[in-house]
Every structure is written in C-alpha cells, then in structure tokens.
Structure 1
Amino acid sequence: MPRLTRIAGPALLALVAFAALLVALVYGGASAKPLLEDPGAVVRYGLPIASLFTDLGAALTIGTLALGTFALTPSRPEWARALDIASAGAAFWTVASAVTGFFTFLSVSNVRVTADAKFGESLAFFLTNTSLGLAWLISTLVAALVTVLCFAVRGVTPVFLVALVAGAALIPIAGQGHAAGTTGHVAAVTALGLHIEGAAVWLGGLLALVLLRPVLDRPRVGLVLARYSTLALLCFVVVAVSGVASAGIRLGSWSELGSRYGVLVVVKIVALVVLGLFGVVHRQVLVGRMQNSPAARQGTFWWFVSAELAFLGIASGVAAALARTADPVSAKALTDTGAVSPAEVLTDSPLPLEFSPLRWVSGWNLDLVWLLACAFLVAFYVAGVVRVRRRGEAWPMGRTIRWCLGLVVLFLATNGALNVYERYLISAHFVLVGLVAFVVPALLASGAPWTLALVSIAKRTDGSRGPREWLMLVVRSRGAAVLTHPVSGVVLLAASLWAWLFTPLFRWSLTTYGGHTVLVLQLVLVGWLVVQALLGLDPVRYATRTGIRLAVVGGTVVVAAVVGIVPALGDGLLLANWYGAMGRLWGAPPVADQHEGGVALALIGVVVAAVLAVVVAVRAGRRSEG
C-alpha cells in the first residue's frame, strides 16, 4: 500500500471529525455564549475538541486490543506492532482525558486559571469529591495504566484482560454523560455506554488495520480484514440500536427531529447508514478480492477504507458536538417543577400503573444490554445450526427450540413486566430471580450451545484465537474443572440466592443498574452449572453418575424451598426502607406481597428441579436398556 494511502486514512478521520465538530457546535448552539457564567471561548471550544481527541485515543486503544485478541497471531510481527499502536493510543488517550477533565472543571466551576493554592485546592476537590470529576480522574488513571500494561504484557490472555480494563474506563464517563440529565436515566446511560463501546471497537479496529498494513503480507491482509469485518458487523448493530434508543430518549418525540439537536441526530444517522453500506461492500465484495486479487487492486481498496474513515470522522465529530448540545428532553426537565412521589425519589421514575394480568403483555421496560445479548445469542445459535446442517450433519430440533425459548424467557424477564415492577413489588423481584436462576438455565443448558459452537466454528491454524479457541481455553481451564463439579453448582446456587436476597447485595441489585445486571448474569451462570451437571450435554471434565445427579436434584429442591419459604413465612419485610416506602396504594400490602413472592420462588425452583429429575431418570433408563 502506498505511504500516501496509509497516511490519508487517519488524517482524513481527524480532519473530517474536527470540521464536523466545529460545524455542529456552531449549528447546535453549544459554542454560543451562555447568558450566565460564560467560561470563555477557550473552554467552550476546547472542551468538545478535547473530548473528541479523547474518544479517538480511546477508540484506537480499545479497537487495536480487540482486533489483536480476535484476529492477530502472536508469533508474527503484526502482534508486537499492534501492542505498540495500542500503547501509543493509550498515551494519547491519557493526555487528552486529562485535558478534558481540566476543561470540564473550568466549565462547571467558572473559575479563572491561576497559580495560587486556592485554584489547586478547587481542582483537587472537583476531581476527588464530585462524581463528574471523579469519573474523569478514574478514566485518566485507567488510560495511563493501560499505557503501561501494553508495554508490559505480550500474551494473548493478558492482552484480552487489558482490553477489558480499557473498555471499563469508558463506563464512568458514560454515567456522567448528557444522559444524566434526562428522564429514564438508566436507559439513557445504558444506551450511551453501549454506543461508545461499540463505536470504539469499530473505529479503532479500522484504524489499527490501516496502521498494521506495512507488516501484513497480501494473504494476511484479506484474512485479518475478514475477521475485522465480523467485529465491525457486530459493532454496527450495537451502535445502530443504541444510537436509535439514545436519540429517542433525548428527543422525546418525532416532532423534535426538526430541532437543531434533531437535525444533528439525523446527520449522524445518515453517516451511520452510509457506514453500514460500506460494511456490506466489505463483506460481500472486497474481502474476497483482497484474499485473491493481484496487488494492483489493493490500492483502490485502501482508498475505499480512507473514505470509510472519513464518514466515521463525521459521525465522531457530530457525536462529540451532541454531547455538548442541549437536547429537548433535558431542556423540558429543567422547567418541570411538579411534585415528586416517594417512589420517584427512590427510583428516579414515577410509580407505574397498578399491576394486573394485562400488564404482563403491555408492561415493557427495555434493557438494551439483555435485548442485544438475547438477539445475538439466538442469531449465533441459528447460524451454527445452519452451518452444521450444510455439512450434512444432524442437529436435534428440540435443542434449538429449547435454546430459543430460554432466551425468550430471559428477554421477557429483563425487558417485560417484571423489569417494570420488580423495584416496586418484591413479589415481581422474586419471580424474576426464580426465572433467571432456574427456568432460563434449564432451557439454555439443554440446548448444548458449547457443543454446537465447537462443532460449527472452524478451527484456526495460524496461531490466532478465534471464538472456538477461546471456548476451548475456557473448557480446558482449571477453573472450569472446579466449577463444573456437581457439588460446586449446588453450593454456589445456594450461596448466590442467599446473598442476593438476604444481604446488602439485595439493595445493590435494586438501586443500581450494574447490580441488576450482575444479579441476572451471575444467577444464569450458576444455574447453568447445576443443570449442566444434571444433563451432561456439553463437554466437561467430570462424568456424573445417575445417583449423584439425583442428589444434585434433591439439593436444588432444598435450596429453592428454603430461599422461598423463609421470606414467605417471615413477619418482617425485607428491605423495608425500600419496598415499604414507595407510597404504593394499589396491590397487596408489602408484607403480603413478600409472602406471595416467596411462595412463587419456591414453586418455580421445585417444579424445574422435578422436571430435571424426570429427564435424568428417563435418560438413565434408556442407557440401561441400551
């Protein structure tokens, strides 16, 4: 690839992003002088510019690390070059983040820069005692840590862990973004977090691909490009869905598309649509040509990549400007001085309508993380089944149905009526716990997804780690050997349910989105361990005998009964200063509602365990007959 095309891509990205940012700042009004407490033109323009550079540095770091752990081979020169690129990106990210934090302080405090001790004390107080300042301090420190780690580690697994650390650095910033001022705070922050994480991997991976070109020979370019294309497709879906959700939350209604904020949203959507078309061309045309075409055609391809980076620059610049532009919903919220109910004080959301059987169908509170997770898992499973059957091999339809049904239940539990009412009705929370701890794992584990993945995903021969290699690493690990022991599952299930229902973790799972997400994920995984020990469909180290499996069933019944009966028979209300302080005038009283929820939890667990006992007994009978 000519040196000009290598330079043109990153240069176009930076220049177009910068130009789009300035135009969007002026058009959206973010660059105009405020009526009160103007921080000055340097801060008004410097803050969004620094934020843009922070985003680009974070994207280069995270995207390069993600591309490395998924597409590159550690024994080749591309690996060391990728880590050098990631470390340089992280160093740039660190500096840009520090500058952004400093400009943020000047913007919110409206103080002049001086060399005296008072200014330093004010800055230190902002960074250590305010949520906004602490978010930027954490992000800057993590970026600095990633810079060091990129030099210190060279193994694939450590680099993957560094990538996770780098991605985590964006979470505090997402929590303090423009979404914080909107109604539906949790949904807005979640959408923003998914958006910036997906965009970072997408943009940074493409930048890394361009910068790695000098150390990739012709066949490797096509191979790495094909792997990046898969990552980019997943990121495009995440960015598109989260972007639409985020825009809907901030605009409030379709009529606001004509506002200045709405026009900028439309510009960003158009840029994303064009980028989606670029992705189609990548997957359908260019990947194959890059693997088979002569070198003369590769120059055209890299100019095509430069054009794609230019559109990514438009999207990045407009996104940075939107973060500084007042959205219609936030502006309306500032003028809303209505009375606040006790439920709204506790949850930041008004008390929902009275729960009724109809609410099981009409009640929705979308959780983008679990919505996308369920959609991706269904798509991956179906793609695996199609690939296996195209080879002429069979895959039981029952497994596919149970897998999809399990994800439907998980989707309903995390996005439907239970997600609406669990913070107001303890019975709804108990039912959700029963579904994700017992029903969902039973259905998902009976789909044998690990086995399907291992037989459907092609094995790599170039020393890189793809999905199959990562799965095999997990299956063969010592931790998996301990966790998949039949006793481990029951013990972990009992400890987990007790901790989530009778310790301070209960409040954490209700009052924070992170706690709620960890609750669902952890209970699904622990329940999976129990069901896997009973069914034995996926590859594990231990071959469990029928007698031990029935003992596991008995232990599961005891666990479900105890964690359900204790709140069902208790006179005191769990988390009384939460469920008892909602000001709810409809439905059963809180203590009676708790009793009903405890009974429901026990019934769900016992019924699922009984069904699994029948399955174990039937399978044992078939083996004895055979």
Structure 2
Amino acid sequence: MVNRAVRVLGPAVLLLVALIALFATLAYGGGAAAPELTRDPGALVRYGLPTAKLLFNIGAAGTIGALALAVFAFSRDEAGYGRALDVAAGSAALWAVASLASSLFSFLSLGASLTLDDRFGDAYAAYLTSIESGQAWLGTTLLAAAITVVCFGARNQVVILVTAIVGVLALIPISQQGHAAGSADHDAAVTAIWLHMVGAAVWLGGLITLALVRNVVAKERLVRLVERYSSLALACFVVVAVSGVVSAQIRIGSWEYLLSTYGVLVLVKSAALLALGLFGAVQRRIVIRRMADAPAGAEGRRFALLVVAELAFMGLASGVASGLARTRTPIPDTPASELTDPTPAELLTGRPLPPELTLERYLTTWDFDLLFTILCGFGLFFYLAGVWRLHRRGDRWPVHRTVLWVAGILLLFWITNGGVNAYEHYLFSAHMLAHMMLGMMVPVLLVPGAPVTLALRAIRKRQDGSRGAREWIMWAVHSKVAGVLANPIVAAVIFAGSLWVFYYSPLFSWATTDHVGHWWMVTHFLISGYLFVQALIGVDPVPYRAPYPLRLLLLLGTMAFHAFFGLAIMSGTGLLLADWYGAMGREWGPSALADQQAGGGIAWSVGEIPTVILAFVVAVMWSRDDSKEAKRRDRAAERDGDAELNAYNDMLAARSDRR
C-alpha cells in the first residue's frame, strides 16, 4: 500500500502543485496576459506555451535524473536498474512531445494562425529550419526522441552514461533562448540557466526515479540508494542555489527591485528551494539512519512522507520557475542592436568596450564565468576532501602534490574569470595568453597533483556491482579510448596539431563569437594540454608509459612545432578574424594586426616557459629512474653474489671458446 502511494501520489502531487503554481504565477506576474502592442495569439497559446515548457522541464528532469541514478546508483543486474531506464524512456518521450508542442506554440506566438493547409506547414517548417529558436526546439525534440529509443533498447552502462551526457547537452540550445542574444549579460545568463536546469533535472528526476523504483528494491537496498541520491542532491542544491542567485541578480539588478512582481516570485521560488535544502539536510542526518534502523515495513512510511513532501515543494519551484520565464523583468532585456547608438564592440559582443588594458587591470579586473567558477570550486573541494580522508585514516599524501593542485586550480580560476577572460574578446593577444596558460601552464601544475591516484585511494570501493566515481575512473583509465589518447605520440599530435586546425578553421570564429564555442575551446585546450603533460611527467596510472628518451624527443619536437606556429603568427600580414578583432572599434592600444603579431610572440615566448620546465622535470625524473635502477641492481647483486654479471661474463667466455 505504501509503495503504491509513493508511486502514484508522489508524481501526481508534483504535477498538480506545479500546474497550480504555474497558473498562479502567470496570473500574478501577467505572463499570460494579452499583449497590448502586438497581435494576440489567443488564450490557448498564452497558457499553452508555459504549460508545454513546464512539461518539457519535468520530462527532461525525469530523463536526466533517472539516467544519473542508473549510472551511479544501480548495478546492471538488479531490477531497479531496468525500472530506472523505463522511467528515463517514459520521461524522454514526454520531453520530446513537450518540446514539439513548445515549438508549435512558440511559432503561433509569433503571430501565425493555426490552419490545416500547406501554407501553414511550409511556414512552420521554415520556422523550425531557418529561425534560431525553431532550430533549438527542433534539435532538442530530435535528441529527446533519440534518447527515448536508446533508453528502451540499451542496457549497457557505458551507453547509458553517454546518453546521460547527451541529455545534459541537449538542454543547451533551449538555455540560449532564455535571454536576449546580444545583451550585455547574455553569456552569464545562458550559463546560469543551463546550470540551473541541469542541477534541477538531476535533483528532481532522481527523486521521481526513487519513488517509482521503490516497489522493486529491498529495504537495505533502498537505504543505500537514498544515501547515493542524497549525495547527488547535495551537489545539485549547490549548483541550483548559486546559478539561481546569478540569474536573479542579472534580472533584478538591485535591492530596490526585490519587492517588484518579478522579485516576489523569485523570493517564493527561493523559499521553496531553501525548504528543499532543509529536506535534504533532514534526509541525510535523520531519515536515512532511521530507515536503516526501522523494522521491516516501517521504513516505507518515512520514505513515502519524505518523497511526497519533497515532490510537492519541487512542483512549487518548477511551476514558479516556468511562470517566471513569462514574467517581465525589472531590468529591460535589451539587445545591443536595439540601443540608440551602439558601438561596434556592443554590436559584436553585447558589451561596451572596456578601458585600455594595463597590467593592473589584467590583475584586478574580473569577468566571472559561472561554469568554470563552479568547476574550480568542486575541483578544489573534492581534492582537499580526499586528502583529508587519507589523513584521517592515517595515510600520507605528499604536501607538494596538494600545493601544486591548489595552485593549478587557482590559476585556472583566474584565467577563466579574471582579466584575461575580460579582455580576450577584444584582444587577440589576451586570447593567446589564455590559450598558452590553459594548454601548458595549468596542466604543468595540475598533472603532478595526481588527482586520479588520490581518487582511487580516497574513494571507497563499491562491493554491490554498481559503479561509483571510483569505478568509473577505473573504467576510464583502462578503456581503449584512454589507451589511444594517453599514448605519448597521439597526445603530442593532438596538442601540437590542434594549434593549426583551430586557428585556421571556422572553429576559431565559433569559439570567439559563441559562448558555447568558448566553453569548448577552454575545455579542449585544457584537456589536450593535460594529456600531453601527463604523457611526459604524469604519475597517475596510464595504459602505456613512454621511455624517457622518447619523452624528450616528443617534447623537443613539440617545442619546435610550437615555436614555428608562433613565428607564423608573428610574421603574418592578414588578420585571422578580421570581422571580429578588426571591427571592434578599439581606439586604444596597438592596431588589430600589431596585437595579433604580439599574440604570436606570446605563443612563441611565453609558451616555451612551461616547455623548459617540462624538459627539466623529465630530465630529473630520468636521472632518478636511473638511480633507482642502479640501486635495485646493487641490492640484487648483494643477495645473489652478482649472479647476473657472472652469467653475462660466462656467456661471453662461451662465445669466445666457440670462436
């Protein structure tokens, strides 16, 4: 009876509360009111669009959350794993249908009339294939439909992991529609919306999955699943809270607007999220322990009460969030193209041109990227937590590894959030400095930190056949893909070859003009540099470790390739991205071409500093390795009377006798 109540009442309460909250928000905030200056698309569209988006969010949450639990909480052989994938498949189907409905309502909201003739079909098809918002809805619909098919047919956990990653990335196109393109805060808003959607999806979808798998898992297994879900939910709460604060700050701006219509709705949503955070704290500290100690059957009532209450508050937060998307913000969301007298920099970047770059501004200016701020925060926290766990159980971890890792994370944070990030959209030289630091200096600090070794030592090994962080790291280290990428020759080719491929292809334009492309650029530079440095001086486990002569040869070859690239940029007489750096309207500093040539000098000179450090470290490691080998041979000779040398001399004597 309790199982049925959880499976039926929980999702029903979620949907009911979400719809009530949505319509109340629309009524209070005027999100569904008839427009005054444009054609009214009708009440069906005005209420249908936010309702479809609400179902879109719930479907996406059910999909991503169920896949996350399937990957990190269940073993492949238990019944709950199959049920979780069924939940993901059903949710993905809802996601696809709601996405298609949202595209239709979005098209109708532009002023089109719903008819059954060919002209409407042609116009709708043109919207889906030619207009940016229509393309986003179409792409998301196709991805959700593909995820539905995979979840119905696949059971391999690696395939499910890839599917979960695709689901997370499928939210990016819609997050890009949530803030006016070309406005000053567009990039920050897109990042905050996407992170908010991902965190809420894992949080809400995981809870829905727990409710729907309750009847196929035993009591002891349920306690373990709730523990694992609670860990995921805690991380999601941090992401949702931080991204929510950033989104509210962008749209509200100052304290004086906090009690505006939009501000009051933000407060209601924040109260619901704080209540959910309180539920999570109670869950981690009280409910899980009582569930473990309760007699058979009694734990179900506590679980049911907790799940239904959490789903009700999640429904409230989801409904208000969907209504907020249709509510006018206190600060106008005006793209640069609609400004009275926009500057070239504002038309290109959405922001005014910053003041002239100086060393002081390089060090004190901040332009925060929420994604990399959170990643750096998590990277610092989990590494130090791992070191602390080893310390508590009496194990030692070298202090210099911790110092290097912390320094690398702090440098990564400054590159992605500091003055370099603030000026790289306007100066090629700042962009090249970011590239060199991300691809070479940051990995030189991070690789000796040995994060994989620390994780394998600090994270508890699972015994139930499921895959946690430790098991997935082990799989990644021993996978065929890792074997190829970790090969020193492959890593060197990727590291050096990507210089030419990136700067002399459309990738450079995409990474400069599109925020998602910027994410890709930073990730690529960091990973390619990390793989190369790992192949040279890494101590983490890898499928193949090259001999030291080959390492030095690869390093020298890469250094020469790198210097040649820098000289090519320095001696170039044409701008690589003339319609961007050459059209910025910048009156201070060097010309666009001179600045580009300075960027080539940075690639040649600054980029060689980490190379020299690497060469020195490789030489020291080689020397120490030879010393260790000599000591090993000396100890062996003491034990066996130098049997190896005697055998070698006997072999030479025998050859001499035969001749």
Fold shared, TM-score > 0.5 on shorter chain: yes
2:66 to 45, 51, 64: 64
Measure the CA separation in 2 of the matches of 1:571 and 1:46: 56
**Which residue is equivalent to 2:192?**
191
**Which residue is equivalent to 2:169?**
168
3-state SS of paired residue (1:424): coil
Matched letter for residue 12 of structure 2: A
**Which residue is equivalent to 1:33?**
34
67-76 vs 503-512, greater mean Cα deviation: 503-512
Distance 1:595 1:178, change over 3 A: closer
1:497 to 496, 499, 503: 499
Matched letter for residue 368 of structure 1: L
1:602 to 580, 601, 604: 604
Measure the CA separation in 1 of the matches of 2:336 and 2:369: 26
1:458 to 451, 457, 460: 460
Measure the CA separation in 1 of the matches of 2:169 and 2:486: 28
Where does 1:89-488 land on structure 2 (aligned, <5 Å)?
89-109=91-111, 111-178=112-179, 180=181, 182-295=183-296, 296-330=298-332, 337-488=339-490
**Which residue is equivalent to 1:618?**
620
Deviation per CA, 1:263-306, whole angstroms, max 9, x where unpaired?
11111111111111111112222223323332314312320221
**Count of aligned positions:** 625
188-197 vs 139-148, greater mean Cα deviation: 139-148
2:536 to 529, 534, 537: 534
Deviation at 1:337, TM superposition (A): 3.7
Distance 1:380 1:248, change over 3 A: same
Deviation at 1:332, TM superposition (A): 6.3
1:178–1:324: 8 Å Cα contact kept in structure 2?
no
64-73 vs 280-289, greater mean Cα deviation: 280-289
2:183–2:351: 8 Å Cα contact kept in structure 1?
no
1:62–1:163: 8 Å Cα contact kept in structure 2?
yes
Deviation per CA, 1:310-369, whole angstroms, max 9, x where unpaired?
111111000000111111223566996420111122222221111112212331111111
Deviation per CA, 1:147-177, whole angstroms, max 9, x where unpaired?
1111111110111122222222222111112
Measure the CA separation in 2 of the matches of 1:179 and 1:307: 36
Deviation per CA, 1:469-507, whole angstroms, max 9, x where unpaired?
111111111221122122222211111122222332221
414-423 vs 567-576, greater mean Cα deviation: 567-576
Distance 1:508 1:335, change over 3 A: closer
Deviation per CA, 1:529-555, whole angstroms, max 9, x where unpaired?
221122130001223222222223212
Deviation at 1:180, TM superposition (A): 4.3
Measure the CA separation in 1 of the matches of 2:494 and 2:138: 36
User: Unpaired segments of 5 or more residues in structure 2?
Assistant: 629-659
Measure the CA separation in 1 of the matches of 2:549 and 2:100: 61
TM-score of the two chains, using structure 2 as the length reference: 0.92
2:85–2:152: 8 Å Cα contact kept in structure 1?
yes
Measure the CA separation in 1 of the matches of 2:8 and 2:139: 32
3-state SS of paired residue (1:330): coil
3-state SS of paired residue (1:541): coil
3-state SS of paired residue (1:609): helix
The answer to whether residue 73 in structure 2 is matched with residue 74 in structure 1 is no
Deviation at 1:182, TM superposition (A): 4.6
2:336–2:347: 8 Å Cα contact kept in structure 1?
no
Measure the CA separation in 1 of the matches of 2:532 and 2:382: 24
417-426 vs 163-172, greater mean Cα deviation: 163-172
2:219–2:299: 8 Å Cα contact kept in structure 1?
no
Deviation at 1:8, TM superposition (A): 2.1
Matched letter for residue 72 of structure 1: F
Measure the CA separation in 2 of the matches of 1:504 and 1:116: 40
Matched letter for residue 196 of structure 2: H
Measure the CA separation in 2 of the matches of 1:410 and 1:216: 43
1:203–1:312: 8 Å Cα contact kept in structure 2?
yes
Matched letter for residue 260 of structure 2: S
1:221–1:291: 8 Å Cα contact kept in structure 2?
no
Distance 1:293 1:604, change over 3 A: farther
Measure the CA separation in 1 of the matches of 2:505 and 2:471: 38
1:178–1:323: 8 Å Cα contact kept in structure 2?
no
TM-score of the two chains, using structure 1 as the length reference: 0.96
**Which residue is equivalent to 1:55?**
57
**Which residue is equivalent to 2:645?**
none
Matched letter for residue 389 of structure 2: R
Matched letter for residue 254 of structure 2: S
2:408–2:445: 8 Å Cα contact kept in structure 1?
yes
Between structure 1 and structure 2, the one with the greater Rg is 2
Distance 1:125 1:502, change over 3 A: closer
1:223–1:291: 8 Å Cα contact kept in structure 2?
no
Matched letter for residue 226 of structure 1: E
Matched letter for residue 346 of structure 2: E
Measure the CA separation in 2 of the matches of 1:148 and 1:420: 43
**Which residue is equivalent to 1:580?**
582
Measure the CA separation in 1 of the matches of 2:459 and 2:336: 52
121-130 vs 221-230, greater mean Cα deviation: 121-130
1:60–1:89: 8 Å Cα contact kept in structure 2?
yes
Distance 1:45 1:230, change over 3 A: same
1:556–1:605: 8 Å Cα contact kept in structure 2?
no
3-state SS of paired residue (1:329): coil
**Which residue is equivalent to 2:651?**
none
**Identical residues among aligned pairs (%):** 49
Distance 1:143 1:331, change over 3 A: closer
Measure the CA separation in 1 of the matches of 2:337 and 2:407: 45
3-state SS of paired residue (2:331): helix
**Which residue is equivalent to 1:557?**
559
Measure the CA separation in 2 of the matches of 1:497 and 1:291: 55
**Which residue is equivalent to 2:643?**
none
Distance 1:194 1:534, change over 3 A: same
Measure the CA separation in 2 of the matches of 1:614 and 1:104: 60
Deviation per CA, 1:69-105, whole angstroms, max 9, x where unpaired?
1101110111111111111111222222222221111
Matched letter for residue 218 of structure 1: K
Measure the CA separation in 2 of the matches of 1:392 and 1:367: 38
1:73–1:462: 8 Å Cα contact kept in structure 2?
yes
Measure the CA separation in 1 of the matches of 2:537 and 2:476: 19
Distance 1:341 1:331, change over 3 A: closer
1:179–1:192: 8 Å Cα contact kept in structure 2?
no
Measure the CA separation in 2 of the matches of 1:283 and 1:475: 32
Measure the CA separation in 2 of the matches of 1:340 and 1:114: 40
Taking only aligned residues, the RMSD between alpha carbons, in angstroms, comes to 1.7
3-state SS of paired residue (1:577): coil
